[in-house]
A = this chain, B = another copy of it.
Amino acid sequence: MNGRTAKIEFWYDFASTYSYLSAMRIEALAGAAGVAVEWRPFLLGPIFAAQGWTSSPFNLYPAKGRNMVRDIERLAAARGLSFVLPAKFPQNSLMAARLALVGAEEDWIAPFTRAVYAAEFADGADISDRVRMGAILQSLNLDSERIFSRIERPDLKDRLKQQTGRAQGHGIFGAPSFVVGAELFWGDDRLEQALEWARRG
């Protein structure tokens, strides 16, 4: 290890179903492997738009969408997780991503991310709803009014755009993605492999 801590970057969009699966297990797996997790929320929308997609591929290609739901139902059941596809899918993840960036500055991004995903994919909640997101912040003993004003500041909005640009720079085209050094892994089913890559250094 040469004194460096092994680390993995976890790139996710709050609207992404497979990112939910990874968010709920990455800390336990990374902890067991001795790997530090860096949480990297970004927006898939601009990346999808750049490849000519106007919605999630799970909506554009219905057979793929039906398989995704069934696949996640099976995986969630095996992992003891609830799963429901929200009435509106994909959801607008902009507010959640901006809030998460504040959480990255203040070190509550991991529990916040898990709480948002649980609201969205276990309860079917609307994560673009300010009241629901405020309740999540308060459940973490955070001052929601202060944080909601923080995400209105231009520097915070710019940081999300920059983070999405960095995702594209890594070659990211879907979520979740895992970056270990120069190596990119795509999909919840590559999490173990990415952690092994990080562990081996």
Residues of A within 8 A of B (CB): 51, 60-61, 63-64, 66-67, 70-71, 74, 171-174, 183-187, 189-190, 193
CB-based contact A171/B61 at 8 Å? no
Closest to A183 in B: B70
Residues on B with beta carbons closer than 8 Å to the beta carbon of A171? 63, 66-67
The complex places the Cα of A171 from the Cα of B65 at a distance, in Å, of: 10
CB-based contact A173/B70 at 8 Å? no
CB-based contact B173/A67 at 8 Å? yes
The complex places the Cα of A192 from the Cα of B47 at a distance, in Å, of: 32
Q: Report the copy number of this chain in the oligomer.
A: 2
CB-based contact B70/A184 at 8 Å? yes
| Set B60, B67, B184: member contacting A67, Cβ < 8 A | B184
CB-based contact B173/A61 at 8 Å? yes
**Residue in A63, A70, A185, A193 with the greatest tally of chain B CB atoms within 10 Å:** A63
Closest to A53 in B: B61
CB-based contact B64/A173 at 8 Å? yes
Beyond A74-B193, A189-B189, A193-B74, whether A61 also contacts B67 by CB under 8 A is: no
Residues on B with beta carbons closer than 8 Å to the beta carbon of A190? 71
Pairs A–B under 8 Å by Cβ, sample size 22: A51-B60, A51-B61, A51-B63, A61-B173, A63-B171, A63-B172, A63-B173, A64-B173, A64-B174, A66-B171, A67-B171, A67-B173, A67-B184, A67-B186, A70-B183, A70-B184, A71-B185, A71-B186, A71-B190, A74-B193, A187-B189, A189-B189
- Excluding A67-B184, A67-B186, A71-B185, 10 further A-B contacts by CB distance (< 8 Å) are A51-B60, A63-B171, A64-B173, A64-B174, A66-B171, A67-B171, A67-B173, A70-B184, A71-B186, A187-B189
